[in-house]
């Protein structure tokens, strides 16, 4: 068949353009990508073999062969894997339908959008001492140097196309393991298009199953024709591939599947290396959990706790779960049945003897063996975390800080919630810098305190100004800070800890704290309102109602002691953060109508009462009431009309400054 030419898709062109023009010094990762593809292809053959599937050249060893030709500056990476048919080459090498590249492009767009000032200085990518570089550093149209933009290349599995960071031209020859087995050659210079042709007769002679990637090295990438260089790259990135990599006749990678080794024979260095290989995370893991179980099911489990935050919310929703192997054959990448979603931050591998290789994904989910493995792993992980929390609280604190947001979701696990509860950590009014457990809180409770109190807000700073908190401070009653939206949900659904119900400070009634004496150093309470002053208060309340109108459902005297001049209370007793969450879910914006409670013992309210008694229609009184309402709304997390607010406060300031200056004369 004659050669045909095919254009790349637009997205592919975009990616190729970035890669071919990249001055990314770390282009060695192209080899990692090619080897991982070869390994995937071999894995598929191993799978076919173990399930008795039909296969070309069934006797071929499963391995990867690398050869170099220094004269022609060619590097070839071949495998005896599953191969590709003509159509598969079009589908797999002609588009970037796989997630790695797409994520890369997305992340790059995001990073570009985030970038502040464009970098002015050009970056010279040649730090490897090769002086003959004649091309100028390429600066993209947005003014950022390409070096800078491609910092993120290494973080992603950009896949096959990364070869164009080092290749002038690439020729992929492939013989599919199944079907009619006609060999095809895919060829491209990584610009706008690629060509395809089939091999016949003499050309096809002697070709065995699998894929061979022939790379015509760019002048600035000739280092990859050197054996020592290739060896070091393979050891660095691909040491744990489950297939032999032969380089000029000798095997380079030596390490067997780490998870199958006895726990104590594996060094921390080996773990670090394996973890990096597995996750592309450059930071060493915070912790390693490695164990094997023989009964009731046999399996090996190797999991890591990353030292970097894991984000599997939103776009990367499916990017979690350990790789599931059966007798060293990869059955499923990122399996979701072995770990509950609240352990989604764990990375690693599970390998069992007790499952058939040809098990389908659907049956995996229902499988009893899987369930048993999962139960055992979850118990082991919980025990591990419990021990860490007890013996290495600092370390557990880091785990919580990074991954607590996942563990919190364990509140919906009926089976494990009792073990998860003691693992929860919070900052509290008594411990703002060091995490406390619920046990710590309970141990510090007042003698006859029943409730575990909490205040929910977007940050500790916001929580501290919650008007309902003042009374707790005065009485020295400890309060948990809940700063993650899920916190309040989780506590509400957990209801109690050791018979102590969780309760929001906003829901404390007048009597809740009465019994406790004021804490040392608390400011003395102002004189309570006298009986004969009540009518003035009622008049002020009526006036405030009049001024605020529809913005509130009711105005009344505070039902419980507060320190602030006023606070907002929801008519249905829902706490303000819960209400925000519900409003966000219902996509309601605007400001909710609530009850405004004013504190008759507060100096400001007393002055307003006097003003109101003197002249209820005083314009300054109105400004002050509106100002008080704005401030109270702000503390509740809402902003009314900022322009009106600023103007009013300027007016009040002008008056106050005038009076004060008069006073000082
Ligand atoms: P990914 O490996 O993430 O799918 P790549 O860009 O690395 O993305 O590869 C794209 C696809 O090309 C692979 O999914 C696979 O189908 C095919 N492919 C690449 N290399 C090989 C190979 N050596 N043997 C068989 N198929 C391959
Ligand atoms: Mg790949």
Q: Does ligand 1 come within 6 angstroms of the Cβ of 75?
A: no
Q: Does ligand 1 come within 6 angstroms of the Cβ of 429?
A: no
Contact 172, 81 (CB under 8 A): no
- The pLDDT assigned to 305 comes to 98
Pairwise CA distance, residues 522 & 473, whole Å: 8
- Residue 213 CA: nearest ligand 1 atom is 23
Q: For 482-526, how does the pLDDT look when each residue is reduced to its tens digit (9 = 90+)?
A: 998 889 888 988 899 999 999 999 888 878 888 888 888 888 878
459 pLDDT more than 70: yes
Mutual angle of helices 619-635 and 642-664, in 10-degree steps? 120
Q: Which residues pair with 195 in a beta bridge?
A: 5, 187
- Residue 93 CA: nearest ligand 1 atom is 12
Question: Which ligand lies nearest the alpha carbon of 38?
Answer: 1
Q: Does ligand 1 come within 6 angstroms of the Cβ of 98?
A: yes
Helices and strands, number each (H, E), in the chain = 20, 23
Q: For 18-41, how does the pLDDT look when each residue is reduced to its tens digit (9 = 90+)?
A: 888 766 667 888 998 899 899 989
Pairwise CA distance, residues 501 & 451, whole Å: 5
- Residue 36 CA: nearest ligand 1 atom is 2
Q: How confident is the model at residue 619 (pLDDT cuts 50, 70, 90)?
A: very high
Nearest-CA residue for ligand 1 atom 18 is: 37
Nearest-CA residue for ligand 1 atom 11 is: 92
Pairwise CA distance, residues 482 & 487, whole Å: 6
Question: Which ligand lies nearest the alpha carbon of 89?
Answer: 1
Nearest-CA residue for ligand 1 atom 12 is: 92
- Residue 161 CA: nearest ligand 1 atom is 6
Q: What percent of the chain has pLDDT over 90?
A: 56
Could you tell me how many residues make up the chain?
Answer: 665
- The pLDDT assigned to 255 comes to 66
Nearest-CA residue for ligand 1 atom 17 is: 92
Q: Cα dihedral sign for 631, 635, 638, 643? A: positive
Q: For 96-112, how does the pLDDT look when each residue is reduced to its tens digit (9 = 90+)?
A: 655 556 666 776 677 66
Pairwise CA distance, residues 229 & 413, whole Å: 50
Provide mean pLDDT across the span 179-205. 92
User: What is the distance between the terminal CA atoms of the chain, rounded to a whole angstrom?
Assistant: 103
Q: Which residues pair with 352 in a beta bridge?
A: 299, 326
Strand, coil or helix: 287: strand
Q: Does ligand 1 come within 6 angstroms of the Cβ of 37?
A: yes
Number of neighbouring beta carbons within 10 Å of residue 611: 18
Q: How confident is the model at residue 320 (pLDDT cuts 50, 70, 90)?
A: very high
Contact 198, 183 (CB under 8 A): yes
Q: Does ligand 1 come within 6 angstroms of the Cβ of 43?
A: no
Ordered domains of the chain (ranges, CATH): 3-99+154-251 (3.30.565.10), 121-145+264-423 (3.30.230.80), 425-525 (3.40.50.11260), 531-551+591-664 (1.20.120.790)
- Residue list, CB under 5 A from ion ligand 2: 37, 159
582 pLDDT more than 80: no
Nearest-CA residue for ligand 1 atom 10 is: 92
Contact 323, 277 (CB under 8 A): no
For residue 77, report the distance from its CA to the centre of ligand 1, in Å: 13
243 burial (CB, 10 Å; 0-12 / 13-18 / 19+) is buried
Nearest-CA residue for ligand 1 atom 8 is: 159
- The pLDDT assigned to 10 comes to 83
Q: How confident is the model at residue 481 (pLDDT cuts 50, 70, 90)?
A: very high
For residue 628, report the distance from its CA to the centre of ligand 2, in Å: 61
Q: How confident is the model at residue 134 (pLDDT cuts 50, 70, 90)?
A: very low
Provide mean pLDDT across the span 446-461. 93
Q: Does ligand 1 come within 6 angstroms of the Cβ of 176?
A: no
Q: Does ligand 1 come within 6 angstroms of the Cβ of 12?
A: no
H helices of 368-449, where?
A: 368-391, 393-407, 417-420, 438-443
Provide mean pLDDT across the span 462-491. 91
- The pLDDT assigned to 353 comes to 86
Q: Cα dihedral sign for 640, 542, 509, 411? A: negative
Q: For 54-90, how does the pLDDT look when each residue is reduced to its tens digit (9 = 90+)?
A: 899 999 999 999 999 999 999 999 999 999 999 999 9
Q: Is the peptide bond before 296 cis (omega within 30 degrees of 0)?
A: yes
149 pLDDT more than 80: no
- Residue 44 CA: nearest ligand 1 atom is 25
Question: Which ligand lies nearest the alpha carbon of 101?
Answer: 1
412 burial (CB, 10 Å; 0-12 / 13-18 / 19+) is middle
CB half-sphere exposure, 625, CA atoms < 13 A: 27
Provide mean pLDDT across the span 199-221. 93
User: Ligand 1, residues 40, 85, 88, 97: which to mutate, most atoms within 8 A of Cβ?
Assistant: 40
Q: Does ligand 1 come within 6 angstroms of the Cβ of 33?
A: yes
Q: For 243-266, how does the pLDDT look when each residue is reduced to its tens digit (9 = 90+)?
A: 999 998 898 886 668 898 899 999
Phi, psi at residue 26, to the nearest 5°?
-90, 40
Q: Does ligand 1 come within 6 angstroms of the Cβ of 188?
A: no
Q: Which residue has the higher pLDDT, 631 or 152?
A: 631
Pairwise CA distance, residues 609 & 606, whole Å: 5
């Amino acid at each position: 068949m004659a050669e045909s030419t095919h254009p790349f898709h637009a997205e592919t062109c975009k990616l190729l353009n970035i890669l071919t023009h990249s001055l990314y010094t770390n282009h060695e990762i192209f080899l990692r990508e090619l080897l991982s593809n070869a390994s995937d292809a071999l894995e598929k053959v191993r799978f076919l073999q173990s399930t008795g599937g039909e296969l070309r050249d069934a006797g071929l060893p499963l391995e990867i062969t690398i050869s170099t030709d220094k004269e022609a500056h060619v590097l070839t990476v071949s495998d005896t894997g599953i191969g590709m048919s003509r159509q598969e080459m079009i589908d797999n090498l002609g588009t970037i339908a796989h997630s790695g590249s797409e994520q890369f492009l997305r992340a790059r767009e995001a990073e570009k959008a985030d970038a502040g000032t464009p970098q002015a200085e050009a970056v010279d990518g040649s730090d490897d001492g090769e002086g003959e570089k004649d091309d100028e550093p390429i600066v993209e149209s947005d003014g950022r140097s390409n070096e800078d933009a491609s910092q993120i290349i290494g973080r992603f599995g950009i896949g096959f196309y990364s070869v164009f960071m080092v290749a002038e031209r690439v020729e992929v020859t492939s013989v599919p393991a199944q079907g009619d087995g006609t060999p095809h050659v895919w060829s491209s210079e990584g610009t706008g298009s690629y060509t395809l042709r089939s091999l016949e007769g003499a050309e096809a002679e002697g070709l065995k199953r699998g894929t061979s990637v022939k790379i015509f090295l760019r002048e600035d990438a000739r280092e990859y024709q050197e054996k020592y260089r290739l060896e070091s790259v393979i050891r660095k990135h691909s040491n744990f591939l489950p297939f032999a990599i032969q380089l000029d006749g000798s095997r380079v990678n030596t390490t067997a599947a780490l998870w199958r080794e006895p726990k104590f024979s594996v060094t921390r260095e080996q773990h670090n290396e394996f973890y990096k290989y597995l996750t592309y995370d450059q930071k060493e893991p915070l912790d390693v959990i490695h164990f094997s179980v023989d009964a009731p099911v046999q399996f090996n489990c190797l999991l890591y706790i990353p030292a970097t935050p894991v984000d599997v919310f939103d776009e990367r929703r499916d990017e979690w779960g350990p790789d599931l192997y059966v007798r060293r054959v990869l059955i499923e990448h990122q399996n979701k049945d072995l770990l509950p979603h609240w352990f989604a931050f764990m990375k690693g591998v599970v390998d069992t003897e007790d499952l058939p290789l040809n098990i389908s994904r659907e049956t995996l989910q229902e499988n009893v063996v899987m369930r048993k493995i999962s139960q055992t792993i979850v118990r082991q992980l919980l025990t591990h975390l419990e021990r860490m929390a007890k013996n290495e609280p600092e370390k557990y604190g880091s785990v919580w800080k990074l991954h607590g947001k996942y563990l919190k979701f364990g509140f919906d696990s009926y089976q494990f919630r009792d073990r998860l509860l003691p693992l929860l950590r919070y900052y509290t009014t008594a411990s703002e810098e060091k995490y406390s457990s619920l046990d710590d809180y309970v141990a510090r409770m007042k003698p006859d305190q029943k409730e575990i109190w909490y205040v929910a807000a977007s940050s500790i700073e916001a929580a501290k100004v919650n008007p309902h908190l003042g009374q707790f401070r005065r009485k020295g009653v400890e309060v948990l800070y809940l700063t993650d939206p899920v916190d309040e949900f989780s506590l509400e659904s957990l209801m109690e800890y050791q018979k102590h119900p969780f309760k929001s400070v906003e829901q404390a009634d007048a009597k809740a704290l009465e019994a406790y004496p004021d804490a040392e150093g608390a400011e003395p309470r102002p004189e309570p309102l006298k009986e004969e002053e009540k009518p003035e208060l009622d008049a002020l309340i009526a006036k405030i109602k009049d001024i605020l109108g529809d913005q509130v459902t009711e105005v009344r005297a505070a039902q419980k002691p507060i320190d602030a001049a006023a606070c907002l209370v929801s008519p249905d007793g829902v706490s303000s953060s819960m209400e925000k969450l519900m409003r966000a879910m219902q996509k309601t914006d605007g400001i909710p109508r609530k009850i405004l409670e004013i504190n008759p013992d507060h100096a400001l309210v007393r002055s307003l009462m006097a003003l109101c008694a003197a002249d209820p229609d005083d314009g300054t009184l109105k400004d002050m009431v509106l100002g008080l309402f704005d401030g109270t709304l702000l503390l509740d997390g809402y902003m009314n009309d900022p322009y009106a607010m600023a103007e009013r406060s300027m007016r009040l300031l002008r008056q106050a400054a005038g009076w004060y200056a008069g006073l000082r004369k």
